[in-house]
Chain A
Amino acid sequence: MSISEETVDQVKKLEADKYKYGFVTDIEMETAPKGLNEDIIRFISEKKEEPQWMLEWRLKAYKHWLTMEEPNWAKVGYKKIDYQDLYYYAAPKSMDRPKSLDEVDPELLKTYEKLGIPLKEQELLSGVVAVDAVFDSVSVATTYKAKLTEMGVIFCSISEAVREYPELVKKYLGSVVPHSDNYFSALNCAVFTDGSFVYVPKGLRCPMELSTYFRINAENTGQFERTMIIADEGSYVSYLEGCTAPQRDENQLHAAVVELVALTNAEIKYSTVQNWYPGDETGAGGIYNFVTKRGACRGDNSKISWTQVETGSAVTWKYPSCILQGDNSIGEFYSVAITNNAQQADTGTKMIHLGKNTKSTIISKGISAGRADNTYRGLVKIMPKAEGARNFTQCDSLLIGNTCGAHTVPYIETRNPTARVEHEATTSKISEDQMFYCQQRGLSPEEAVSLIVNGFCKEVMKELPMEFAVEAQKLIGISLEGSVG
């Protein structure tokens, strides 16, 4: 992978509008009353036509949530969230379960077109990517469903999965992230509204990239999506999520849960390009991105790989993790986190080694500019039975300017003497020499920063599926605008 001229191109083009996804779709919405109580949860469950067990699970999670306290150990600061001042359900009125794309409100289709996500199949990237589009609390459309169904792949919204495949959902829901796991995930369990569900049958290498595009549109609304991916024995799937939200002065909460299960010899590759609205230069507005993502390598020789490019959100609290249960299973975490202006990110991973000869790799690249704070927080835990476990961790931080911060907080716990754990960390600044060298070759200061940062992130960027790598490169350039000069 090389850094393309598109990066630089895009930076130039977008100088005027810094966050091009900041528009609002004017569409009639149906919302639940503001606030959170059991009735709201019943309302959501009813809207989704859920079975009784699902409602009970939600209520159990809610009761547990009431006993919990918001975590405060992360190196982030934000205004206290008033959970009674939020809407927990918002759906376009026209979204009363359209049967096909033809019935979807044209206003919504237009929104996704504007975001660069055409939902009409013939307009999609020559059939290599299937998309589930989630707008506020509901899934708008899922493309290529028929084609995928033929192969035995289930790709649908999680609401639909609860109705259509209750046994599968029941078996795996909460099995990786239990309802009591943490404050934000418990809240998600109680009020989750939509998200994607993927099941890949035994022995199948899913020939398409599966992708979910999350859009927050409504005001004062939290988005609580839940995604589940199950890769049955010997299967493979690559999945990508993208996220954007309108530009608003107030903060919005996004508390998602993602659960991955890889059975024997299965592999899941999960990529994220997170571009929620980051707030303005002064720190007003932006998304609180408090997300729990965890994958279980349940079977022997299974593999889960997380790749994330985090450029958006005002505050990020996110630790995509792997539980390496199966012998010889592999967990990977590749991360680029960029914070500019007043953004704060506390992100990293957890690698829990349970099985024999389990391996994990962590490559984290944090870039800070403006007054931003960027923290890598990671846990590598080797349990007593994890004979021959190995981990390699590399955390690199890059600082742009003198007013930002980079922090690395690694936790390493080994309870098996055969474990090998390596941790490397560097912190560097873009040097004046590098800037001058690039400028002397004709690059503007912003083009130079974009090029240098893309080079810094290269090891992670090359893990992204090709279709999205270019997009991610552009994003890096855009999100660092105004960081020099």
Chain B
Amino acid sequence: MSLLSIRDLHATVGGNEILKGINLEIGPGEIHAVMGPNGSGKSTLSYVLAGREGYEVTRGTIAFKGKDLIDLAADERANEGVFLAFQYPVEVPGVVGMTFLREAYNAKLRYLGKQEIDAMEFLKFVRSRAKTLNMSDDMLKRAVNVGFSGGEKKRNEILQMAVLEPDLAILDETDSGLDIDALKLVSDGVNELRSENHSMLIITHYQRLLNYIQPDHVHVLAHGKIQRSGGKELALELEAKGYAEFSEEAA
């Protein structure tokens, strides 16, 4: 059974239809890459999956672990195991990263009807996760994303993902704005988390991230629809030919 099953998904933003019939199946442990030109609806897809307000599903279904996701609020989806690594991580002034992460972790435990984690125990757990990712947990001592460099923000997202251990992680243009070192660090983190329990949907404009993270499937999204699907070789083909073909197809 698929972990995530999207059928004929149509969605509007501010009355404009952006997604026009998406079909996508993601199985447990699979990594899918969704590529496409600017304005194709990539980020809209990630927000629709995460349940952002203002992104309205007008037709179709999203089943996650057999549950209908559309009826759940954003926080419920998160606690069910959907994680979105933001393209533009948001600043939360005055809230220390470690606290933020612990609140999030405990919210999920409460949702699952489990006992909350002790602060010291949590600290140890986060340190061990950071170590596996070869990252410093120093940024968790600062207010969430405040004064972070672009690279730090993205690393912070990956660290949060590693701690929250989602069933499905959606990485929305995580590679944008990263230099080659930061890109490598982030990709190593993602590869470290790769397992049969963690599926990923990687949304990207460029192929270069896929040099570091090998996807099982690649999809091309254009004009609100998946135009083509294939293996990782599709990404290379896109790199060579660009997206021109898809703008013609649609026209």
- Taking a contact as CB atoms under 8 Å apart, the answer to whether B90 and A441 are in contact is no
- Determine if B95 and A436 form an interchain contact, defined as CB atoms under 8 angstroms apart: no
With A3-B95, A442-B111 as given contacts, are A437 and B89 in contact (CB-CB < 8 Å)?
yes
The listed residue (A431, A432, A444, A452) touching B107 by CB distance below 8 A is A444
A437:B92 contact, CB within 8 angstroms:
yes
**CB < 8 Å neighbour of A456 from B50, B73, B74, B94:** B94
The contact sample of 5 A-B pairs, CB cut-off 8 A, is: A436-B90, A441-B103, A441-B107, A452-B92, A455-B92
Residue with the highest number of chain B CB atoms closer than 10 Å, among A436, A441, A459: A441
In the complex, which residues 1-54 of chain A have their Cβ closer than 8 Å to any Cβ of chain B? Answer: 2-5, 8, 12
- Chain A proximity mask over B1-16: 1 for CB below 8 Å, otherwise 0: 0000000000000000
In contact, B100 and A457 (Cβ under 8 angstroms):
no
Q: Does B93 contact A (CB under 8 A)?
A: yes
Convert A420-440 into 0s and 1s, putting 1 for each residue whose CB lies closer than 8 angstroms to a CB of B: 000000000001111011111
Q: How far is the CB of A36 from chain B (nearest CB, A)?
A: 46
Task: Considering the complex, give the chain B residue whose CB is closest to the CB of A455.
Answer: B94
Shortest C-beta distance, B93 to chain A (Å), equals 6
Q: Which 4 A-B pairs have the closest CB atoms?
A: A455-B94, A455-B95, A458-B94, A441-B104
CB nearest neighbor in A for B110: A12
- Residue of B89, B103, B111, B119 most packed against chain A (CB within 10 A): B103
- A104 near B: Cβ within 8 Å? no
Residue of B with least CB distance to A458: B94
**Chain A residues closer than 8 Å to B95, beta-carbon distance:** 3, 451-452, 454-455, 458
CB–CB B98/A2 < 8 A: yes
- Beyond A439-B75, A441-B78, is A454–B92 a contact (Cβ under 8 Å)? no
Whether a CB of chain B sits under 8 angstroms from the CB of A482 is no
- Are A442 and B104 in contact (CB-based, < 8 A)? yes
Chain B interface mostly helix, strand, loop or mixed? helix
CB-nearest residue of chain B relative to A462?
B94
Q: Mark B96-132, 1 if CB is under 8 A from A, else 0.
A: 1011111111111011000010010000000000000
Assuming the contacts A432-B53, A455-B143, asked whether A440 and B78 have C-beta atoms less than 8 A apart, the reply is yes
Near A by CB (< 8 A), chain B positions 63-98 give 73-75, 78-79, 83-84, 86, 89-96, 98
Interfacial chain B residues near A437, Cβ < 8 Å: 86, 89-90, 92
A457 to B104, CA, bound (A): 20
Complex Cα distance, B143 from A457, in Å, reads 13
* A11, chain B: closest CB distance, angstroms: 11
Tell me the complex Cα distance, A448–B107, Å.
11
Q: Does A201 contact B (CB under 8 A)?
A: no
Chain A residue with minimal CB distance to B101? A441
What residue in chain B is nearest A431 (Cβ atoms)? B90
* A445 in contact (CB, < 8 A): yes
Interface status of B164 (Cβ within 8 A of chain A): yes
Residue of B nearest to A12 (CB): B110
Of B52, B75, B93, B160, the residue contacting A455 (CB under 8 A) is B93
Selected from A432, A451, A458, the residue in CB contact (under 8 A) with B103 is A451
**A443 close to B (CB within 8 Å):** yes
Q: Are B99 and A443 in contact (CB under 8 A)?
A: no
Instruction: Say which residue of B50, B94, B102, B143 sits within 8 Å of A440 (CB atoms).
Output: B50
B-side contacts of A436, CB under 8 Å = 50, 52-53, 74, 90
Are A442 and B99 in contact (CB-based, < 8 A)? no
**Interchain CB contact under 8 A, A445 and B94:** no
A447 contacts partner chain B, Cβ-Cβ < 8 Å = yes
With A3-B99, A5-B106, A447-B107: A439-B74 Cβ-Cβ less than 8 Å? yes
Q: When chains A and B are docked, how far (Å) is the Cα of A440 from the Cα of B107?
A: 11
Q: How far is the CA of A437 from the CA of B74 in the complex (A)?
A: 9
A443 touching B75 by the CB < 8 A rule? yes
* C-alpha spacing A374/B94, complex, angstroms: 21
Which residue of the partner chain A has the closest CB to B89?
Answer: A437
Which residues from chain B contact A441 at a C-beta distance below 8 Å?
78, 100-101, 103-104, 107, 160, 164
**In whole angstroms, how far apart are the Cα atoms of A447 and B108 in the complex?**
13
A240 to B50, CA, bound (A): 45
Q: Which residues of B contact A5 (CB under 8 A)?
A: 102-103, 106, 116, 119
A319 CA to B104 CA, complexed, in Å: 38
B70 to chain A, nearest CB (A): 16
Q: Which residues of A contact B90 (CB under 8 A)?
A: 431, 433-434, 436-437
Contact assessment for B74 and A8 in the assembled complex, using a CB-CB cutoff below 8 Å: no
Residues of B within 8 A of A443 (CB): 75, 103-104, 107
B window 41-67: CB within 8 A of A? 50-53
State A4–B116 Cα separation when bound (angstroms). 12
For B75, the chain A residues whose CB sits under 8 A away are 439-440, 442-445, 448
Rounded to whole angstroms, the CA-CA distance of A448 and B103 in the bound complex is 10
Tell me, rounded to whole Å, the shortest Cβ–Cβ distance linking B206 to chain A.
24
Contacts of A433 in B (CB 8 A): 90
* Contacting residues of chain A (440-481) with chain B, CB-CB under 8 angstroms: 440-445, 447-448, 451-452, 454-459
**Structural contact, B93 and A456, CB atoms closer than 8 A:** yes
CB distance from B57 to the nearest CB of A (A): 16
**A454 vs B96: C-alpha distance when bound (angstroms):** 11
Asked whether, in the complex, the Cβ of B103 is within 8 Å of the Cβ of A8, the reply is: yes
What distance in Å separates the Cβ of A429 from its nearest Cβ neighbour in chain B?
13
Nearest-neighbor residue (CB-CB) of A2 within chain B = B99
List residues of chain A with CB within 8 A of the CB of B93: 455-456
Residue of B nearest to A456 (CB): B94
By beta carbon, the residue of chain B nearest A433 is B90
Q: How far is the CA of A440 from the CA of B172 in the complex (A)?
A: 13
Partner of A457, one of B83, B86, B91, B94: B94
Within 8 Å CB of A432, what residues of B? Answer: 53
